[in-house]
Amino acid sequence: MKENINDVRLSKHLASPNEATLSHSSELDGVRLSPHFKLSEFLKLEKYPANVPTMQAVANLTYGCHQILEPARLLVGPIIINSGFRNEAVNRKVGGVKNSQHLTGQAADIRPKDPRQFQQLVDFLKSWEYTDQLLTGSGWLHISWNPLAPPRHFVRIGYYK
């Protein structure tokens, strides 16, 4: 039942061709993608008010939450999303690559709330069956997924200096 309510909320907003100009996108805050992750955590609307995702991006984010982030959270505890979905403007602003998976809701930059869990998070994602790309930085990492293609298991430790 709860999911139905979320669907209605989303479609009300995202059916609009001018979705990027929504002034009351705060309603997106109530949308939960999985037991421990809310859509708002992936959007950073307080910083980027026009960063409203397409339905396809929401579906992709939901897949990532269920297949990767929830299992990881089970292991290392709460996970902070530094960056999730990015529209073109946000992606440019943060210096993301042109074909970034953040644009389609297929990636997130994350860190464990407890920094001591970082290595365990890396070790888990390195060998996790749904990991598409894993690129690590110092205390945070980029993880991607793709519901439409077999995972590439492309892993680069220390990729971000």
Binding footprint of Zn ion on the chain (CB under 5 A): 109, 142
**Are 32 and 38 contacting, i.e. CB atoms less than 8 angstroms apart?**
yes
**Are 101 and 144 contacting, i.e. CB atoms less than 8 angstroms apart?**
yes
Backbone angles phi, psi at 105, to 5 degrees: 75, 25
Query: Which residues neighbour 70 within 8 Å (Cβ) at sequence distance 6 or greater?
Result: 34, 35, 36, 37
Of the pair 12, 160, the CB lying nearest Zn ion is at 160
Backbone angles phi, psi at 80, to 5 degrees: -95, 130
Cα separation of 158 and 136, whole Å?
5
Of the pair 73, 142, the CB lying nearest Zn ion is at 142
| Centroid of chain to Cα 59 | 11
At closest approach, how far in Å is the CB of 97 from Zn ion? 9
At closest approach, how far in Å is the CB of 92 from Zn ion? 14
At closest approach, how far in Å is the CB of 104 from Zn ion? 12
Sign of the torsion angle spanned by Cα atoms 107, 108, 112, 118: positive
Q: How many CB atoms lie within 10 A of CB 101?
A: 21
Of the pair 111, 142, the CB lying nearest Zn ion is at 142
At closest approach, how far in Å is the CB of 109 from Zn ion? 4
Of the pair 5, 94, the CB lying nearest Zn ion is at 94
At closest approach, how far in Å is the CB of 103 from Zn ion? 11
Question: Which residue is at the shortest CB distance from Zn ion?
Answer: 142
Of the pair 17, 139, the CB lying nearest Zn ion is at 139
